[in-house]
Amino acid sequence: MASLNSEFLGIKSPNPFWLASAPPTDKEYNVRRAFQAGWGGAVWKTLGFDPHIVNVNGPRYGAVWTGDRKLLGLNNIELITDRPLQTNLDEIKIIKREFPDRALLVSLMVPCEEAPWKKILGRVEETEADGVELNFGCPHGMSERGMGSAVGQVPEYIEMVARWVKSNTRMPVLVKLTPNITDIRFPARAAKAGGGDGVSLINTVSSITGVNLDTFSPEPTIDGKGTHGGYCGPAIKPIALNMVAEIARDPETAGFPLSAIGGITTWRDAAEFIALGAGNVQICTAAMTFGFRIIHELTEGLRLWMEEKGIDAIDDFRGRAVPNVLDWQYLNLNYVTKARIDQDLCIKCGRCFAVCEDTSHQAIRINPGREFEVIDEECVACNLCVNVCPVENCITMAELQPGEIDARTGRVVEKEYSNWTQHPNNPAACAAE
């Protein structure tokens, strides 16, 4: 049977699913329920010094939904813990004793000086927690006070704080990154350079979820006003996947331990992040949407898939997709496909026609009886029809085999791989003629 056992930064947990630092890990009660439900680990809601911060007393969350109210994205303007430090520390200690086999890390955010970091680390060590996570991610509230993403956006600060932390504790140190930055590789490199043991990403994406058209105020609205918050949930998964991939394939950080966060909702999402190099995953919004019981779908789904693939352990497929992520210029321009519509599956909605005709390449024709057919002479294989078709697998992309003629270009499909760096239209081509 495939094993979900996880070892990350030397911290063991029965499965790679940890709860991210957020409301689900805010206090003893929640974390106990999570561990009872079967979660492998948790990163405690970010701690700071007393006097503890306060939260707004109006709505903290905004959301983006599909028409049938499926939650696509959540946004929050919540700050770090709003309870006294000692209360949190006492509870952490109780939980760690009660669940010694689970991973329990503590997220931290204190002012950007060495003394406060040193001070808080000492107190966290007393809880016997397994490690700490440095919250350089929150994009709202704390950043205006010089913490959170205000640190995460400056690689030099990340490196500096990571170094302070490492020199003041023997606990493993995870550096949590903000996506609100142009190139994620720089903060990751800085975390490594500072001696951090790994990175976790992404924290939330700066966002406003909507504008109330009666009051003309941003959502969520506090007394008629609003502020940007942090976006999370399914909508941010593609952003997180890319950032994880960027770090995994950067020669400077390749192999650096990485805990993936961002929109993970099903076992499939988790498997994708691990395939892109993540050692484990952290989840917040999915738990906040459905409750802790989703852990059974996550663990059993992942286990079953691993067994179907003949994979015995998490580490055995970790990073398997990384070599397949390339820069655009190395993609094979001799790979030619054409859209194909399966007439048996087609329900004749005509959406493929509407979008190809109006916004793409006029490559679909309507035959009598509302039969939709791809015109190979026009199809550039953009995939839009596949993406808008409501029936899965009704439209697929068929590969042309070498030797076949691409009806659009009139050229024979070549067997050899050839990319932009070799293309005659590229002024900088280094064609091996």
Ligand X SMILES: Cc1cc2nc3c(=O)[nH]c(=O)nc-3n(C[C@H](O)[C@H](O)[C@H](O)COP(=O)(O)O)c2cc1C
For residue 231 the two structure tokens come to 């976006």
Binding piece for other proteins, criterion CB under 8 A, among 14-22, 44-52, 117-125, 341-349:
341-349
Does residue 212 touch ligand SF4 according to CB under 6 A?
no
Binds ligand X by CB under 6 A, chosen from 139, 179, 194, 262: 262
How many angstroms separate the CA atoms of 93 and 178, rounded? 28
Query: What backbone torsions phi and psi does residue 17 show, to the nearest 5 degrees?
Result: -95, 110
Question: Which residue's CB is nearer to ligand X, number 23 or number 226?
Answer: 23
Does residue 350 touch other proteins according to CB under 8 A?
yes
Does residue 383 touch ligand SF4 according to CB under 6 A?
yes
Give the single-character DSSP code of 291: -
Tell me the DSSP string of 85-105. HHHHHHHHHHHHHH-TTSEEE
Does residue 364 touch ligand SF4 according to CB under 6 A?
yes
Does residue 236 touch ligand X according to CB under 6 A?
yes
CA atoms in the 13 A half-sphere facing the CB of 222: 14
Question: Which residue's CB is nearer to other proteins, number 68 or number 223?
Answer: 68
Binding mask 390-419 for other proteins (x = CB under 8 A): xx----------------------------
Residue with tokens 């892109």: 276
Binds ligand X by CB under 6 A, chosen from 6, 30, 107, 178: 107
Does residue 214 touch other proteins according to CB under 8 A?
no
Binding piece for ligand X, criterion CB under 6 A, among 48-56, 218-226, 258-266, 372-380:
258-266
For residue 118 the two structure tokens come to 């040193």
For residue 266 the two structure tokens come to 């099903």
Q: How far is the CB of 342 from other proteins (least distance, A)?
A: 13
Kind plus residue range of the DSSP H or E element containing 29: helix 28-37
Q: How far, in whole angstroms, is CA 254 from its chain's centroid?
A: 17
Residue with tokens 């020199």: 167
How many angstroms separate the CA atoms of 339 and 394, rounded? 10
For residue 15 the two structure tokens come to 């499965």
Binds other proteins by CB under 8 A, chosen from 64, 208, 239, 349: 349
How many angstroms separate the CA atoms of 142 and 120, rounded? 17
Q: How far is the CB of 326 from ligand SF4 (least distance, A)?
A: 22
Query: What backbone torsions phi and psi does residue 397 show, to the nearest 5 degrees?
Result: -105, 115
SS3 at position 332: coil
Tell me which residues are annotated as active site: 138
Q: Which does 314 bind (CB under 5 to 8 A by kind): ligand SF4, other proteins, ligand X, none?
A: none
Q: Which does 353 bind (CB under 5 to 8 A by kind): ligand X, other proteins, ligand SF4, none?
A: other proteins
| Cβ contact 297:283 at 8 Å | no
Does residue 286 touch ligand SF4 according to CB under 6 A?
no
Q: How far is the CB of 372 from other proteins (least distance, A)?
A: 9
Binds other proteins by CB under 8 A, chosen from 1, 54, 57, 68: 68
For 263-279, b/e burial (b = at least 16 CB within 10 A) is: bbbebebbbbbbbbbbb
Binding mask 235-264 for other proteins (x = CB under 8 A): ------------------------------
Binding mask 172-191 for ligand X (x = CB under 6 A): ----x---------------
Does residue 15 touch ligand X according to CB under 6 A?
no
Q: Which does 137 bind (CB under 5 to 8 A by kind): ligand X, ligand SF4, other proteins, none?
A: ligand X
Query: Which of 89, 87, 84 is CA-nearest to residue 53?
Result: 84
Which amino acid is present at 393? N
Binds other proteins by CB under 8 A, chosen from 12, 93, 351, 361: 351
Does residue 45 touch ligand X according to CB under 6 A?
yes
| Cβ contact 11:41 at 8 Å | yes
Query: Which of 256, 273, 282 is CA-nearest to residue 317?
Result: 273
Binding piece for ligand SF4, criterion CB under 6 A, among 49-57, 144-152, 310-318, 380-388:
380-388
**Burial zone of 127 (CB within 10 Å; 0-12 exposed, 13-18 middle, 19+ buried):** buried
How many angstroms separate the CA atoms of 142 and 150, rounded? 8
Residues that bind ligand X (CB under 6 A): 20-23, 45-46, 74, 76, 78, 80, 107, 135, 137-138, 176, 203-204, 232-233, 236, 261-264, 283-286
Residues that bind ligand SF4 (CB under 6 A): 339, 356, 360-361, 363-364, 374, 379-385
Residues that bind other proteins (CB under 8 A): 66-69, 347-351, 353-354, 366, 370, 390-391
